[in-house]
Structure 1
Amino acid sequence: MRSLRTGLSLASLVTGLALLLGAPPAQAADLPLRDLADAKNKVIGTAVAGSKLTGTYAEIAAREFNAVTPENAMKWGSVEPTRGTYNWAEADRIVDFAEANGQQVRGHTLVWHSQNPSWLANGAWTAAELRQLMNSHIATTMGRYQGRLATWDVVNEAFNEDGTYRQSLWYNGLGTDYIAEALTAARAADPSAKLYINDYNVEGVNAKSTAMYNLVRSLKERGVPIDGVGLQAHLILGQVPATLQQNIQRFADLGVDVAITELDIRMTLPADSAKLAQQAADYRQVLNACVAVPRCVGATVWGFGDADSWVPSTFPGQGAATPYDEGYAPKPAYHAIAEALGGTTTPPTGACTATYSVVNQWNSGFTGQVRIACDGASLSSWKANWTYGAGQQVTQAWNATCTQSGTAVSCSNASYNGTVPDGGSVTFGFNASWTGSNPVPTVTLG
């Protein structure tokens, strides 16, 4: 790699990824995920944003998932930003969408330390006032959707990593019994909804999950209404806990349901074939563990497309955490979920590949090239997509129209080269800037 710093011409650095043809990319499984999950009496869900429920996003959300979770629309700061003034528009849109498409809705979330409105978070409340605010919020929010939502995350993220209670508005103001009080208020607000407590880093057997286990056991012994435990499962590539199934089973043995509620598996960018294969294995491991335990009701992915994931903005340099890429093409993880739910994948009848090369490089820039070739398949139009991992910027392109938004690059065919016959190829090129490093991205066709 010394030549990266001397400005000498580079040999081609190549990467390619085949796009399976014959069916639309998002239908690469024999059956949609929701049909496979229904056959096993499981939930396969996704978090959604109401503002995005149009076009391809809405089509995939409706076709592939039998449940949805509002990503942010039902959190306290969203529904009551000013005391006594409510905004239900996005939450209503999600519930209406789900009902129109025969999907369950998971309410998320009622009592949490985060994303509270400033008037609540910054108030000086007595215990009596805080209790009244909490109970009123639960009654109002759940009451609006009474009988329409299958489940609610009533209390979210109550514990620290060592198993102690998290210092929060609720714990500091009401003590440990705020959880029991919230669950009791939730049962009164909607007796038909399943009531959950939900947390992260509780997927395996550890101090935090044991604290949750002991809480659930205590709540059950006291007769407090508690129907389920949510394991968020925001996981890191290659780090699915070996004790996941054991942990699911021990909660189930308490007489409660278990749900994987916010599943994603992030990796250090850029993604490559080895990382995507490991991610698929990880998704399969999580779904297999759930399928193996009858009281594991299913799994919800925290967004289904990489373009919509919360991960890159929260964990700089990491991403590609979901089952679909930024162009909404299914990744190996999608097929792993399908297989864990009992499905099979359709063998490719042919493939077209996109091959990225750096053909020349100097101190501040480089010339790149992408070759699209088909073998046993053909294209009438094409779009090549990739994500830069080190701040590269496309400055000029030829034989394609290229746009870049942040790190995401999308290049579509010119008017004269959209057709790629079986056995044929087309090539386009571009100039781009770089500093420090110039890793080769993975290219997908869309």
Structure 2
Amino acid sequence: MTETRHRTGRVRRSLGLLLTSALTAAGLLVTASPAQAESTLRELAAQKGGRHFGTALTVNPLNSDSQYRSIAAAQFSAVTHENEMKWESLEPQRGQYNWAPADSIINFAKANNQIVRGHTLVWHSQLPSWLNNGGFNGTQLRSLMENHIEVVAGRYRGDLYAWDVVNEAFNEDGTFRNSIWYQGMGRNYIEYAFRKAHEVDPNAKLYINDYNIEGINAKSNGLYNLVVDLLNRGVPIHGIGIQSHLIVGQVPSTFQQNIQRFADLGLDVAITELDIRMQMPANSAKLQQQANDYKTVVNACLAVSRCIGITVWGIDDERSWVPYTFSGEGAPLLYDGQYNRKPAWYAVYEALGGNDDPGGSDPGGSDPGGSDPGGSDPGGSDPGGPSGPCDVDYVVVNDWGNGFQGAIYIRNTGSSPINNWTLQFSLPNVYLNNGWNGDWTQNGSQFTVRAPSWNPTIQPGQRAELGFVAGKNGNVSAPNQFTLNGNVCS
């Protein structure tokens, strides 16, 4: 994926602010011009004590959606299989394994210099029917469990930095979940699983992973007491996975304190499945609260040195598990269904230390003198027209030769709201296929985008993010000028 960022001002030869960046095989952005490319989330996290910032991936969009792949490679340094490593996916029929989907994700991670979390070896859910309905006794269940660990962890030994060995072992009151494993072996199944995983993959970090353990409560207390006991008996457990499937406005006040108490046991802690859902439909207030909540979670992790990383449970809202699981709820992730960055993305970016204002201002600096240091205006004159309280960034997100995907960011730099806006610009040799976050029309080379009815206003200091897919004939240059309600944007 090639991402090219242009900020259009009064026309200058280089537009003053042209960035061209390309992804290396490691998935990092490398500048192709003197200007500085914006930092990625993975880069920023790495600068915070070597932490990772990861995502859960699923194989179908990874194999079919170029933008999904591009974002996954560019922004994230760790990968978790959303479903492809669960028992029913790997061994749907006893003794018959389907490795291809899991292998595909691991190969993608290797190609993009990403670490991989193994999720998950022992869980009560998403088991194949032959196992769930097999009527096995405790001795047989232990043999099946340990064989599964040997086969799966053995296959991927050296490819994964960590395993979620046991997943969701507790009830909300802190008692053990009455799973088939607990029914057959009692609480000892947890110890058996960790010892076997360490035997098979001795260099991997071994985690116990659960949800609703973000704050100090009965469930996290039950987990804490178990872990203390396991450590006292020399069981090889190295980390706590705090899933963090949260609700907007409900981040526990004891989140950081809870992370710290597990870290004080000498364990690593990771936020492993972060998403923050809301009652639909989304609106600006909910999205802002969501952004604040994401920042709170990131800051809680950054405040504890042994909180080694954060993984969000998916890339975009459309492919999230949330709407299919929680009726009437959704919009839990950093990107919306059209891969537009949401306020939550910018909140995470800022919490990780990003300060180059991605998409909103020139990361390379402005031209305070008002003249082009690289040469004269190719148009020979100022384009004219009234100057308005707006600036615009234009980004080529992906280019596949005869077509491309673009994004446009409009920022209100004035002191008053911009209502019922209309954006106009020219793109010769381009024909529109689809546009979103506005009502798009094309007349020859002239493009017009009108504010959508559900979001007609850009408040001071805020911005609108538009996207489109288009075909092209030959080379396409960035627009020389954008006008918003008749005013030329700077």
Give TM-score, length-normalised by structure 2: 0.71
Q: Distance in 2 between matches of 1:441 and 1:188?
A: 56
Aligned mate of 1:33, from 14, 22, 41: 41
Q: Distance in 2 between matches of 1:184 and 1:373?
A: 63
Aligned mate of 1:154, from 165, 173, 176: 165
Q: Distance in 2 between matches of 1:106 and 1:285?
A: 24
Q: Distance in 2 between matches of 1:21 and 1:383?
A: 21
Partner amino acid for 1:48?
L
Contact 2:249-2:290 within 8 A present in 1 as well: yes
Contact 1:201-1:232 within 8 A present in 2 as well: yes
Aligned pairs, how many? 373
Q: Distance in 1 between matches of 2:200 and 2:250?
A: 39
Gaps spanning 5+ residues in structure 2: where?
Answer: 8-18, 24-28, 30-35, 362-390, 394-407, 411-418, 457-463, 468-490
Contact 1:353-1:373 within 8 A present in 2 as well: no
- Check if 1:86 corresponds to 2:97: yes
2:244 counterpart residue number: 233
Provide closer, same or farther for how the CA distance between residues 278 and 158 of structure 1 changes in structure 2, counting only shifts above 3 A.
same
Q: Distance in 2 between matches of 1:271 and 1:233?
A: 20
Q: Secondary structure at the match of 1:188?
A: helix
Aligned mate of 1:258, from 269, 275, 281: 269
1:48 counterpart residue number: 57
Partner amino acid for 1:39?
Q
Contact 1:382-1:413 within 8 A present in 2 as well: no
CA shift digits 1:315-344 (9 cap, x unpaired): 121111000011111111111111111112
- Check if 1:350 corresponds to 2:399: no
- Which structure has greater helix proportion? 1
Contact 1:371-1:426 within 8 A present in 2 as well: no
CA shift digits 1:191-236 (9 cap, x unpaired): 0110000000000000000000111111100000100000000000
Q: Distance in 1 between matches of 2:290 and 2:334?
A: 9
Q: Distance in 2 between matches of 1:76 and 1:88?
A: 11
1:402 counterpart residue number: none
2:233 counterpart residue number: 222
Contact 1:66-1:102 within 8 A present in 2 as well: yes
Q: Distance in 1 between matches of 2:43 and 2:409?
A: 30
CA shift digits 1:372-401 (9 cap, x unpaired): 623xx8464585446xxxxxxxxxxxxxxx
Q: Distance in 2 between matches of 1:39 and 1:84?
A: 44
Q: Distance in 1 between matches of 2:43 and 2:272?
A: 19
CA shift digits 1:119-156 (9 cap, x unpaired): 00011112111100000000100111111100110000
Provide closer, same or farther for how the CA distance between residues 130 and 204 of structure 1 changes in structure 2, counting only shifts above 3 A.
same
Q: Distance in 1 between matches of 2:343 and 2:162?
A: 30
Provide closer, same or farther for how the CA distance between residues 65 and 426 of structure 1 changes in structure 2, counting only shifts above 3 A.
closer
Contact 2:173-2:219 within 8 A present in 1 as well: yes
- Check if 1:66 corresponds to 2:115: no
Structure 1 window deviating more from structure 2 (342-351 vs 256-265): it is: 342-351
Q: Distance in 1 between matches of 2:331 and 2:450?
A: 27
Q: Secondary structure at the match of 1:350?
A: strand
Contact 1:259-1:296 within 8 A present in 2 as well: yes
Partner amino acid for 2:347?
A
Give % identity: 54
1:14 counterpart residue number: none
2:190 counterpart residue number: 179
Q: Distance in 2 between matches of 1:379 and 1:31?
A: 29
Partner amino acid for 1:280?
A
Provide closer, same or farther for how the CA distance between residues 323 and 426 of structure 1 changes in structure 2, counting only shifts above 3 A.
closer
Contact 1:110-1:155 within 8 A present in 2 as well: yes
Contact 1:252-1:258 within 8 A present in 2 as well: yes
- Check if 1:141 corresponds to 2:152: yes
Q: Distance in 1 between matches of 2:338 and 2:78?
A: 22
Provide closer, same or farther for how the CA distance between residues 109 and 116 of structure 1 changes in structure 2, counting only shifts above 3 A.
same
Q: Distance in 2 between matches of 1:256 and 1:94?
A: 27
Contact 2:280-2:330 within 8 A present in 1 as well: yes
- Check if 1:192 corresponds to 2:203: yes
Provide closer, same or farther for how the CA distance between residues 412 and 48 of structure 1 changes in structure 2, counting only shifts above 3 A.
farther
Provide closer, same or farther for how the CA distance between residues 353 and 39 of structure 1 changes in structure 2, counting only shifts above 3 A.
closer
Aligned mate of 1:102, from 99, 104, 113: 113
Structure 1 window deviating more from structure 2 (308-317 vs 235-244): it is: 308-317
Aligned mate of 1:445, from 445, 457, 466: 466
Q: Distance in 2 between matches of 1:263 and 1:31?
A: 21
Q: Distance in 1 between matches of 2:124 and 2:211?
A: 14
1:112 counterpart residue number: 123
Aligned mate of 1:419, from 446, 450, 455: 446
Structure 1 window deviating more from structure 2 (136-145 vs 271-280): it is: 271-280
Contact 1:305-1:324 within 8 A present in 2 as well: yes
1:373 counterpart residue number: 422
Gaps spanning 5+ residues in structure 1: where?
Answer: 1-19, 355-369, 387-410, 430-438
List 4+ stretches of structure 1 deviating above 6 A. 26-29, 351-354
Q: CA deviation at 1:426?
A: 4.7
Give TM-score, length-normalised by structure 1: 0.78
Q: Distance in 1 between matches of 2:270 and 2:282?
A: 28
Contact 1:50-1:93 within 8 A present in 2 as well: yes
1 or 2 for the larger relative contact order (CA 8 Å, sep ≥6)?
A: 1
Partner amino acid for 2:278?
M
